[in-house]
A and B are shown apart, each in its own frame.
Chain A
Amino acid sequence: MSALGSVVADRQIIVCCGSGGVGKTTTAAALALEAARRGRRACVVTIDPAKRLADALGLEALTNEPGKIEGDWPGELWALMLDTKSTFDDLVMRYSDDKDQARRILDNRLYRNISGALSGTQEYMAMEKLYELHDEGRFDVVVVDTPPTRNALDFLDAPRRLTRFLDNRIFRLLMTPTRAYLRAVSVATQAFLRTISKVVGGEVVADAVAFFQAFEGMEQGFRERAQHVLSLMSDPATAFVLVASPRRDAVDEALFFASRLHESSISVEALVVNRLYPRFGAGSADEARSRASSLAGTPLAELYDNLADFREVAEREERHFAALAEKVAPAPIARVPFLAADVHDLAGLQRVGEFLFS
C-alpha cells in the first residue's frame, strides 16, 4: 500500500497544510474521497474552496454542518465549509452558564468582530471544528484543509493567541465590578485606558469591558478546550500532510512550515507536490538547447528550443523538489502532474487520487 494510502486507511485526523494556491483544498478532498472508497466514513472540512469544487461537493449552502455526498463507494463521504463565526458561537453556547450569558456575549460588538478580525481565529476554529467532529465519533476520519495564512506560524499558535486574548489582564482588572477590585486598579492602568479611549473612542473601550465582563468564568473552559485541541494535533492518530507546488516561493514556505512542525514535535507524514511539469525524455536541457542552436534555420530548431524550455522547467522543479524531500525525509512524497483542467468534480478528484495513491 502507498504511504498516503495507509494514512487514509488508518488515521483519524489528516491536516493538509501549505501556502495559498498550491492545491490544498483539492488534495484534502481527494484524500477524503479515497478514504470513502476504502470503506471509511470520511468528512472533509474546507476553508475557502474554489466555487466549482464547492458546487461539486454540494457546499453551496453554508450551514457549518457536514453534508453527505452520494456516490458509488462502500464508505461515506461528507463535506463541510467552515463557518468561523458559527463555530465560535457554538463554543460560547457550550461554555456559558446560561442563555443569558451567551446572549450578552453573542450580542457584544467586540465579540461580533472577533471571528473576522482577531488574527488566528479562523485557524483556531478550523482546529476546533476538527476536534468537535472527531469527538462526536460520527466519522472514522476527518480531513481538514488549513487556511491560507499569511504566516504559517498563525496556525499552530492560534489556540494560545486566543486564550491570551481572553485572559487579558488589563481589561479584566478594570471591568471587575466590586469595589475592592476598583481600588486595585492602579492609577497607571486607568490613565492607560483613557489614552486608548482618546485614540479609538470611548465606545470601543466600553465594548471591550462589557465583553470581558460577560466572559467572566468561561475562560477556564476555553483554555482547557484549547489544550485538548492542541494535544489532538500531536496525537499519533493525527497525520500532517504538507502540500506544495514546485515554485520557489511555495517551496520556501513549505520548508519554513516543515521546520515549524518539527519544532512543535509534529512530523510530516507525507509530502504532496502538485502541478509538476512533465519531463520529456532523459536528456538534459543544455543538450537540447545546443542541438537547437546547431540546427538554427531548420524546422527542427524551434522543436528543440521548446524541448529545452520544458526540460529547464523540469530540472528546476527537480532541484526544488529534492530540497523539500530532504527536509521532510523520511516522509514519502506523492507527485501530481500538471493536469489539463482544474479539478471541479468527483471524477477530477479521483484522477488526482490516482497520482496520490499510485
Chain B
Amino acid sequence: MDPAGFCTQSRVFIVAGKGGVGKTTVTAALARMAALAGLTTLIVEVEGKSGIGAAFGRSEPLTYEEVVLSAGGGPDGAADIRARTLTPDDALLEYLEDHGMRRISKRLLSSGAIDVVSTAVPGIKDILVLGKVKALERSAAADLIVLDAPAAGHAVTFLTSAAGLLDAVRMGPIRAQAEDVLALLSDPARCQVLLVTLPEETPVNEVVETAYKLEDRVGVQLAPVVVNGVYPVMEGLDVDVAAAAAEADVFLRPGEAEDLAEAARFRLDRMALQAEQVRRLADGLPLPQLELPFLFTTELGPDEVDVLARALADSVRKLP
C-alpha cells in the first residue's frame, strides 16, 4: 500500500497506547509521513504535554490556536503540519460558548458545578473533546487529523465514553453530541485507531488486551499495530572478534575485544527477545504490523522524525 493511500483511508487517526511506548513519536512520524505524501496534517494533543512540539523543534508549548509545526512547500514537496491542543476544559468552554452560555461559563467553572456535572455524567469531557475532533473532521480542517490519545488505561475509557454516555443521558445536546461521536468512531471510512506498542512482554500483553476491548466495546476500526523501537538489523555481529581483528589486520587494545564482543552479544540478545515478542504479538493479535526503528543516535527532533516517517512509509509499502 502506498503511504498516501494509507493516510487517506480515513480522515482521523487516533494514536493510542500505554505510557512509555512512544505514542508521541508515532504521532509525529505518521504526521510527517502524510505531509511527505502531500497531505496537510493537523495534530491534536489532548493532555497539554510538550513532547509533540519538541519533536518538530518547537520549544514553546502548543496552544488552543493552531500553529504550523512544520511548514511545507520545500524541495521535499511536503505539505504543512499544523498542531493544536484540545484539552477537556478548552472543549467545554468552547461548547458552552457555542450553546449560548458564554455568560455563565466562568461561573460554572468557578463554582465547581462543572465537577459535579462531569461526575454525574461520566465521559462528558471526553465526549466534548471527541465532539470537537468530529467538528474538525466535518469541516475538513486538514487532509489528515492525527489525535494523540490520552495515555495509560485512559485510551479505552476515552473511546468508550460515547457509548457509556448514551446510557446516562437520554436527551439534549450532549446526547446528540455523543451520537455523533459514536457515528464517527464506528465508521472506518472516517476514523481508525492506530495502536502503538514496544517489542517487550508487558507492552505486547497490554496492546492485545486493549485491541480486543476497543473492538468489543466501541466497534472502532483498528489500523495496523505499530511496533515502536525495533532494533535495526545489523549484519556481521555474530563473529569472533579476535578473528575479525586478524582479518582486518588491526591490533586491538587490551579490553577492546571484550567491549566489542559484549556489545555485539547484547544487541543480538535484545534482537532475539524483540523478535520473539513480535511473534507473540502476531499470534495474539491478527492485525498487520508496522515497525519503527529504535533510534540509537539522538533525541527525537525534526531530523529523527523525518527518518522515522520514511521508515514508517517503507513499512506501509510492505502492507498488502
In the bound complex, residues from chain B placing their C-beta under 8 Å from that of A161 are 115
**Are B256 and A299 touching (Cβ within 8 A)?**
no
Across the interface, do B202 and A342 meet the contact criterion of CB distance under 8 Å? Answer: yes
Say whether B19 contacts A148, CB under 8 Å: yes
Inside 8 A of A169's CB, which chain B residues have their CB? 111-112
A105 to B96, CA, bound (A): 30
Identify the 7 closest CB pairs spanning chains A and B, nearest first: A21-B20, A20-B19, A298-B248, A117-B122, A281-B259, A309-B296, A299-B244
A133 to B239, CA, bound (A): 56
Which residue of A168, A192, A283 is within 8 Å of B112 (Cβ)? A168
Q: What are 22 A-B contacts defined by CB distance under 8 Å?
A: A21-B20, A21-B21, A116-B157, A148-B151, A150-B47, A150-B152, A164-B115, A165-B112, A168-B111, A170-B116, A192-B104, A198-B172, A199-B101, A249-B24, A278-B262, A280-B260, A281-B259, A300-B260, A303-B239, A310-B267, A316-B299, A342-B200
Asked if A113 contacts B120 (CB within 8 A), the reply is yes
Which of B5-13, B78-86, B184-192, B230-238 binds A? B230-238
8 Å CB contact of B119 from A117, A164, A170, A280: A117
Cα distance, A208 to B114, chains bound together (Å)? 12
Kindly identify which residue among B19, B99, B119, B235 contacts A118, using a CB–CB cutoff of 8 Å: B119
- How many angstroms from the CA of A195 to the CA of B120 in the assembled complex? 15
Instruction: Output the least CB separation between B280 and chain A (Å).
Output: 12
Are the CB atoms of A298 and B267 closer together than 8 Å? no
What chain B residues lie within 8 Å of A51 (beta carbons)? 205
Select A250's contact among B20, B150, B235, B299, beta carbons within 8 Å.
Answer: B20
A113 to B125, CA, bound (A): 14
CB contact between A303 and one of B19, B153, B260 (< 8 Å): that residue = B260
In the complex, A204 Cα to B71 Cα: how many Å?
46
Q: Which residues of B contact A341 (CB under 8 A)?
A: 201, 273
Residues of chain B from 236 to 275 with CB closer than 8 A to chain A in the complex: 236-237, 239, 241, 244-245, 247-248, 250, 255-256, 258-260, 262-264, 266-267, 269, 273
Please state if A302 and B172 are interface contacts (CB–CB under 8 Å).
no
Q: Which of A160-215 contact B (CB under 8 A)?
A: 161, 164-165, 168-171, 192, 195-196, 198-201, 203-205, 207-208
Any chain A CB within 8 A of the CB of B74? Answer: no
Instruction: Tell me if A195 and B20 are in contact (CB < 8 A).
Output: no
- Nearest-CB residue, chain A, relative to B170: A201
Residue of B nearest to A207 (CB): B120
Q: Are B112 and A113 in contact (CB under 8 A)?
A: no
Q: Which B residue sits closest to A148, measured CB to CB?
A: B152
User: Across the interface, which residues of B come within 8 angstroms of A252, CB to CB?
Assistant: 50
From B111, B172, B250, A200 is in contact (CB under 8 Å) with B172
Chain B residue, CB-CB nearest to A192 = B104
Within 8 A of A (CB), among B99-155: 99, 101, 104, 107-108, 111-113, 115-124, 150-154
Chain B, range 168-188, C-beta contacts under 8 Å to A: 168-175
Residue B18 CB within 8 A of the other chain: yes
Q: CB of A76 within 8 A of chain B?
A: no
